[in-house]
Amino acid sequence: MKLYSLNTGYFKLDGGAMFGVVPKSLWSRTNPADERNMCRWAMRSLLIEQGDRLILVDTGIGDKQSEKFFSYYYLHGEDGLEKNLNTLGFSISDITDVFLTHLHFDHVGGAVKRNTNGLLVPTFPNAHYWSNERHWNWAVQPNAREKASFLKENILPLQESGQLKFIEADEGELQVPTQLGFDVLLVHGHTESQMLPLIEKNGKQILFTADLLPSAGHIPLPYVMGYDTRPLVTLDEKKRILNEAADKDILLFFEHDPDNECARLEPSDRGPVLSSVHALKDVFE
**pLDDT for the residue numbered 28:** 97
- Using one digit for the tens of pLDDT, what is the confidence trace for 17-61? 999 999 999 999 999 999 999 999 999 999 999 999 999 999 999
**pLDDT for the residue numbered 182:** 97
Q: Which of 142-151, 169-178, 187-196 has the lowest mean pLDDT?
A: 169-178
For 105, residues 6+ apart whose C-beta sits below 8 A from its C-beta are 61, 65, 149, 150, 151, 154
- What mean pLDDT comes out for the span 141-163? 97
Per-residue confidence band for 171, with pLDDT thresholds at 50, 70 and 90:
confident
- What mean pLDDT comes out for the span 160-186? 94
**pLDDT for the residue numbered 84:** 97
154: pLDDT strictly greater than 70: yes
Nearest to 42 by CA among 67, 76, 83, 91: 76
State the pTM of this model.
0.97
220: pLDDT strictly greater than 80: yes
For residue 13, give the H/E element and its range.
Answer: strand 2-14
Torsion sign, CA atoms 204, 210, 212, 216: positive
111: pLDDT strictly greater than 70: yes
The answer to whether the beta carbons of residues 20 and 223 sit under 8 Å apart is yes
What is the domain count for the chain?
Answer: 1
- Using one digit for the tens of pLDDT, what is the confidence trace for 80-106? 999 999 999 999 999 999 999 999 999
- Using one digit for the tens of pLDDT, what is the confidence trace for 225-254? 999 999 999 999 999 999 999 999 999 999
User: CATH number, domain at 207?
Assistant: 3.60.15.10
268: pLDDT strictly greater than 90: yes
Please state, rounded to an integer, the average pLDDT across all residues of the chain: 96
Domain that holds residue 79: 2-283
Per-residue confidence band for 285, with pLDDT thresholds at 50, 70 and 90:
low
For 274, residues 6+ apart whose C-beta sits below 8 A from its C-beta are 216, 219, 263, 264, 265
The answer to whether the beta carbons of residues 54 and 48 sit under 8 Å apart is yes
How much of the chain, in percent, has pLDDT values that exceed 70? 100
